[in-house]
Each structure stands twice: as structure tokens, then as C-alpha cells.
Chain A
Amino acid sequence: METQASMDIQKLDSFKGVKRVTVEEYFTSGHRTCQGCESALVMKLMVKAAGPRTIVLGSTGCMYVANTTYYTTPWVVPWMHTQLGSSGSAGLGTAAGLKALMRKGKMKKEPINVIAFCGDGGGIDMGLSAISATLMHPQYNLLILCYDNESYANTDIQVSGASPWGANTTFSPPGKAHRIMHTRWKKNVAGMLAAGHPACRYVATVCASYALDMMNKVRKALSTGGPTFIHSLDPCPKGWDYDPMYSHELGELAIEAGIFPLYEVEEMKLKFYGKTKKIVEGRLKRRPVKDYLSRQGRFAHFTEEDIDYFQKKTDEMWEKWILPGVIPIQPEKDGGK
């Protein structure tokens, strides 16, 4: 049985500071995304971090449709489209294919990064089973990156499993009789995938507002080898309804308000990063969620009562999930005795 140690992987050291970041672009201009599209930035930073010997696979979503209008591309590295729910399968198949071609001598033996990306619709809803299956195959090297803009943004903002409570979407427009039409809390994806896949040695959450942290986690994931997963929170100026210039700031606010924690799970060890780490260690107070919610048109229908509820649920998320170790499973009180 083949072990992980026998696999060739690229050793990508962390960028030590923004001035050391590589100048080359592998995802370039000329894509038809929105002004201020944070997911396009994620694509750019993702391949900047991965480098030129990388193959990228993209499932259907904004980053497929908007980037590759009829017979054009902004990609410098090889890129291929795959079906909405199949980022996991496409990534696994490509990694396996490369390995087979190299074994048979049909291709020069060299470590090639494989990254499969998916949106929250493609990854957190439809493609979850394929991602889960892929994370159980330790003998293949690939990274699955989920760019989560909290809705099916490509088809004009329908609710996904990652949409936040109460948000206005095409499927949950607030009305006069029922103000809150989306009543489910956001799925805890990175935590779920980290907890349930012993073959997966690296899971992380990132936000492109913290570009260096984001790129270094991509480099770490690719250098760790085996199947890995990164969940990126991407402010979406169209669906969240704010001025495109605030994409960066909204990302920061999401972290500071504790809506989205930054962490990694490496070999089942949890480590918090950036502002999230400061909050966990008690060196920084979480900002009120109101600072974050009131900046976005998708929450314009919220009353004070709704904001209070959102705050209460966020506090609960911290107490029950994040602080105890990202997943809300704890032993029953005195159960060990």
C-alpha cells in the first residue's frame, strides 16, 4: 500500500511579507466579473500562491461563467471547467490521471499542483458528497478551494447552504407579512470536513482581505499533500449589495465581528489565525455584528430585533462551536466519570 511519504509534492514556503510575494500573475485581467469581485481576487491570489506548475479545475459558478466568456480566458495556467457538483471528483481524477501518466512514463515526473475550486452552491450544497469522498483518498495530492460568496451569485443570488440567516436573496425576499424569509444558520463547512475526514491532513478558512495569510494557507495546503480543503469567505458586492470599493473592508468586518473565524486544522490540530486568534485569546473584543450587517443592502430590512437575534446566534456559535474547537460536539456533562 502506497503511503503519503512516497508522493512528490511541491515545497512552497510561506511568503515572508507582502514584498516577497511573486510578481507574476497566473490569473490575469479581462474577466467579466463584477466591479470589486472578491472571488476574482481569490482566484488571482490562489494561483499566485500556487505558482506556474499548477492545474486548476473550476466547477460551474461565477468563477466559471464570468471568467471565460465565449472562447476567451484570463487563465495563464491550465484551467478546465467541470460540472456544478463535481469539483471533488474532477480534482481527484486529475490528480490520479497525472500520477498514472507519470508512472507509465507518458509524462515527465514532476510534482504538479492540482486545485479544484467551487462556489458555495457547488461545494457546500451540491458538491459536498464528492468533496467528502475526495478527502478520503490520501494517495492523491489536490486542494479543493471553496469560494463562498454566500449565495448562488452567478444566477442572481439564490439561497445556498452558506447564506446567512435573514439575508435578502432571490429565494428569500422580505415581505410585509414575513420579514425574515431565510431562517437557517450558515453551515459549518470547514469544521465538518476537518472533523469527519481522517485522511485529510489540512483544512483551513481564509479571507482574501488578509491576502498574505490566504496565500500562505494555500501554499501550506499544497505542501502538506494528500487531499486538502480551504474555505474562503468572499464579500460579493452584487449579492450583499454594497459599494464595490468596500469588498476588502467587508471581509475585515466579517472576521472582526466573529461571523467567520480564521483557522486551520493541520493533522487534527486546531490553530486560530489573525484577528480570530486575538479574539479567542481574549486580546480583542468581537465587534458588534451590527457594524457588519448595516453595511449591506441584503440586511436592509433588518429591525433592531433581528440584529439582536443575529448577535445572539453569533455569540452562541462562539460559545458552542468555535471556542470548544470549531465543532459543537462536547462530552455530556460528567459523562466521563
Chain B
Amino acid sequence: MSTIAVEVIYRGIFQKTMAKHITRGIVLAARKEGKVGIAFGRYGDSPERNGIPAKQFAIVADNDEELQGSIAKYEPTEVDVAIAVDDALCKGVESWAWYGLQPVNKLLKENGTLIVTTTQSAEELIPHIHKKELPYNLAVIKGKASFSGLWVYKNDHTDMRVLGALPRVAPHLFGSPALESAIREEWKDELKVASAEKSFERVQIRKVKPEEGNPEIPYSFTMPGWKSMEEGLVVRAIPLGSHFPGHDGGYRPERNPYFKKFTTRTMRPVVDFSKCTKCTLCWLQCPDSCFDVTPDGYYDANMEACCGCGVCEAVCPVDKCVTMVDDTRFDNNNGEWEMWKKDKDGYATWLASKIEHRPERSHGFHHRGQYEKERIEQTD
């Protein structure tokens, strides 16, 4: 084994700086052991968009020749370690049109390790992660997904805790002394070294067998090559929408069939239809046109199209009518209005159980020093 590849799968913009720190930290630590390496982002992900899954890579090799052989690629064909810094990514990622739903463990080698930062346990995560033919390890680092903005970095040490876990899950990458020395040199902060050390001890690793995981076959598309394109590079327009499916009235727009966008979501809206005044605002203000109009004039968020921005909750004038809740508490994209129509009492119970998992919105506006308190809570 002379080349080791690590990928960081993260939320575009929100975790861009953190992903950079992780991949950079890997290379710097490997250099301390006399290896060479390179950290880079996947070209196609740039320009990143808020929330849309993106990747950065760190490749470590014994010598320059081997490194060069590995970097002349768009992305590695397989990785030793995959790091998902948001547990909602475990459901799979769709970064662009035609890409389809890619399982988060897709590139993992046999007995490679998937590291996830999460507040859930490995047992809770595995049903979301697609089945893989080869066995792999799932390493859990306890913590909320750390989201920042483009200009203000949430310095809560999540990056250091991911780095600290690496000597445990992949000792052939680098050892703890090399990592600590690299952190001291690059970030000049003993607290960061301490965060990495604690993570080394605390990371929990579990073997995942080939029969474990989500049995669903991820959706995929065949991308047209230049020979199958229409003359003049014409792309056919989306047809006009039609009635709400299965009904005479209402309206559902047709949607781009090759990009669904829902893997961008970490939260999803649940709607209490009994409170809805049909004011139209969620439907009108949704930048992704994700609300279908129901035959009785309600607005039903289509979960294949919703990217979880939360504008609907923000503009809704009725208290607790639209609520953004944790998307990892769902295992399907079923419509909510049909469920409500069928069984209103059952829906009310279901709704209450989902609202229970309402996370605090963690990527709010930013001030310097805003996150200091949170860092102390997470690292102690």
C-alpha cells in the first residue's frame, strides 16, 4: 500500500472551510512522517452552492511519482477513508444533474472506514446508509453537524476531532504524534491538540457487514454523450404541469427529472394542515417551486424537490403551521397532505412525534466569538 486516499463529503459553503482544514491537516500530518500528499476539491463542485453536497480529497503517498499517478484524476476511484461531516449525508448524495443518488459509502475500499459526525448512534445511522457488497467500518464522532458561512468560520473544533480520529481508524495514514505536531505548527493552539487527542480516545468504531444497511437501489440516469444530443444543443423544456396526481383539481408542476435536489436537505418542513389558512406565502415564496397545490387548495411540499431552506417556515404567518424538523428522522419522501387526508388524528400524532426532533438552526448569522461557548460544550 503506497497511496492512501481520503474523501470528505460535506455541505457546500456551510462546511467548505472545515473540509479544507481536514484535508489540509491530513497532508500536513502525513508530511511529518516523511510522506507526501495533496489536498484538493472536486473541480465540478465549484462554485459551491449552500447545502449542495460537495467533496474534497486528501491523497497521501510514499513518493512523488505515486502521488502524481493518483492526482491526475477527477476524483479517486476508491478511498480508504470517507468522512461525512453531516449525518444527513448518510442517505446518499446528489451533487449535480445526471449524477443520480450516490451512496455515501460508494467509494470505500473493502474494510475501509466511513467516519460520520453525528449525535445518533451507529445503529441508528446504518438503516439510512445504502448496502455495500464489501464489509466496512463505521466510525462515529459525537457532535452536531458544524455549519458555518462563507465569511465567518464556526471554530468549534469539529475539524480537529475528525483529524484526531484518523490515527485510530487508519493508523497507516499517520500516527497521533505526527498529527499533534502538525496541528501545533499550523494552528498554534493547544486546545485544538487537546480536541484531537480526546477524539482519538472517544471515536466509536463498528464493523458493518455486507447485508446491513438500506436495501434500496439508488436512482441513476444515463447521461447523454455528445452523439446523443439534439442538433443545436437544444435541451427540451420542462412540460407544463397538470392536476395533483390522482385528482381532478390542484396543480403539480413538472420538474427537472435529472436533478431532484432533496439530498441538499438537512431539515424538512412538516405542515399542520389543520392550522393552514391557505395564505399562499409558502407556495409563492419557495425558490424551488416545491409546493404542489392540492385539489382543496392547500400547499403540499414535494419532498423530492424540497432542499430544506426553511423559507416556508419563515414566511408562514401562522404559529406552528410550517415547522422545519430533522430530516434524518424520515426514511421516505412521501407526501404529507395525502397522509393527512387519510387519517387526520394519526397525522396529528405523527406530526407531534416529528416536531419533537426539531433541531436548533445551527447555521444562523455570524459574529466573531459567537461559537466559543458551543466549542467548550463539545470538547469538554
Contact = CB atoms under 8 A, between A and B. Distances in A.
Contacts of A68: 235
B40 interface: no
B245 interface: no
Interface residues of A, number: 64
Contacts of B150: 156-157, 238-239, 241, 297
Contacts of B260: 30
A104 B229 CA distance: 31
Nearest to B368: A300
Contacts of B100: none
A45 B280 CA distance: 13
Interface in A268-316: 294-298, 300-301
Interface stretch (B165-173, B209-217, B248-256): B248-256
A69 to B, nearest CB: 4
Interface string B276-291: 0001110011111110
Nearest to B228: A71
Given A23-B293, A25-B253, A32-B261, A243 B97 contact: no
B314 A75 contact: no
B121 interface: no
Nearest to B46: A156
A246 B314 contact: yes
A44 B314 contact: no
B177 interface: no
Contacts of A73: 235-238, 256
A296 B97 contact: no
B238 A245 contact: no
B96 interface: yes
B289 A29 contact: yes
Interface residues on B, range: 35 or more
Interface in A225-273: 237-239, 241-249
Nearest to A167: B151
A28 B281 CA distance: 17
Contact of B302 (A29, A75, A239): A29
Contacts of A31: 256, 259, 261, 288
A208 B281 CA distance: 12
Contacts of A35: 49-51, 264, 307-310
A72 B259 contact: yes
Interface string B33-44: 000000000000
B335 interface: no
Most buried by B among A76, A241, A301: A241
Nearest to A152: B47
Contacts of A37: 49-50, 287, 309
**Secondary structure class of chain A's binding surface, majority of residues:** loop
Interface in A1-53: 18-19, 21, 23-38, 40-41, 44-45, 52
Interface stretch (B68-76, B192-200, B359-367): B359-367
B96 A69 contact: yes
Contacts of A72: 97-98, 235, 256, 258-259
B107 interface: no
A216 interface: no
Contact of B314 (A21, A241, A245): A245
Contact of B288 (A40, A208, A300): A40
B324 interface: yes
Contact of B284 (A18, A74, A244): A18
Contacts of A300: 151-152, 366-368
A154 interface: yes
Nearest to B98: A70
A68 B259 CA distance: 10
B311 A245 contact: yes
B49 A248 contact: no
Contact of A71 (B235, B279, B302, B364): B235
Most buried by A among B52, B97, B261, B264: B97
A178 to B, nearest CB: 16
A70 B97 contact: yes
Contact of B310 (A32, A34, A36, A241): A36
A30 B251 contact: no
B310 A243 contact: yes
B314 A248 contact: yes
A243 B363 contact: yes
Interface in B12-37: 12-13
A71 B225 CA distance: 10
Contact of B279 (A18, A238, A249): A18
Contacts of A168: 151
A248 B285 contact: yes
A155 B51 CA distance: 16
B313 interface: yes
A199 interface: no
A29 B333 CA distance: 16
B49 A34 contact: yes
Most buried by A among B257, B280, B287: B287
Contacts of A246: 314, 365
15 contacts: A21-B284, A29-B261, A29-B302, A30-B255, A35-B51, A36-B287, A41-B286, A41-B287, A156-B150, A238-B49, A243-B363, A244-B310, A245-B311, A294-B365, A294-B367
Interface of A: 18-19, 21, 23-38, 40-41, 44-45, 52, 65-66, 68-79, 154-157, 168, 208, 211, 237-239, 241-249, 294-298, 300-301
Instruction: Please name the 5 residue pairs, one residue from A and one from B, whose CB atoms are nearest each other, closest first.
Output: A30-B256, A245-B310, A34-B50, A241-B149, A36-B309
